[in-house]
Amino acid sequence: MRRILLLIFTVISLSASAQTTAPVLKFGFLSYDAVLRSMPDYASVESSMAQLREQYAAEQKRVEDEFNKKYEDFLDGQRDFPQTILQKRQSELQELMNENITFKKESQRLLAEAEKEALAPLQARLADALAKVGNQRGLAFILNTDQNATPWMNPAMGEDVTEAVKAALR
């Protein structure tokens, strides 16, 4: 019986000491998008992306206008066309429409790829700054609060590192 009591006492003592010596985890939080947008190079990336979007939009408008003109010509002359010409023109219009759809999809893909490539150096610098701030402050992790990813957190257990990360990026 003594051995059992001694064993229980030992287990309780060890678990109590383990609980008191467990490290307290601290975390940081920030709005990743707000910090990214505050970077000086972000404005130039946005400007170049806006120019590229405008170029693709202008080309899409040009192609759409070309299609509309050919379609109007088709509608105006369809009563007078022989069946073979009518079919040929319908086929041309269908092909042009398919090309326009393909171009639109491809331009969206290319724009997304260009934006990803343009933001990559900024995101790499931001990742380095996050690691630096996290290590300096002894944080276990840094949460991104964008898009309600963390609907609630106890601010007493975490630290807003937004300004520290912005400072690390300067």
Res. 137 pLDDT band, cuts 50 70 90 = very high
Please report the pLDDT score of residue 149 as a whole number: 87
Q: For the chain, which residues make up each domain, given as ranges?
A: 21-169
What is the per-residue pLDDT across 33-88, written as a single tens digit (0 to 9) for each? 999 999 999 999 999 999 999 999 999 999 999 999 999 999 998 888 899 999 99
Query: What is the residue-averaged pLDDT of the chain?
Result: 88
101 exposed, middle or buried (CB, 10 Å; 0-12, 13-18, 19+)?
exposed
Q: Please say if the pLDDT value at position 151 is more than 90.
A: no
Tokens of 118: 């343009």
Could you tell me which CATH number the domain at 21-169 has?
3.30.910.20
Strand 158-160 relative to strand 27-30, pairing: parallel
Give CA separation, 31 vs 145, 150, 161, 163, in Å.
Answer: 5, 11, 9, 10
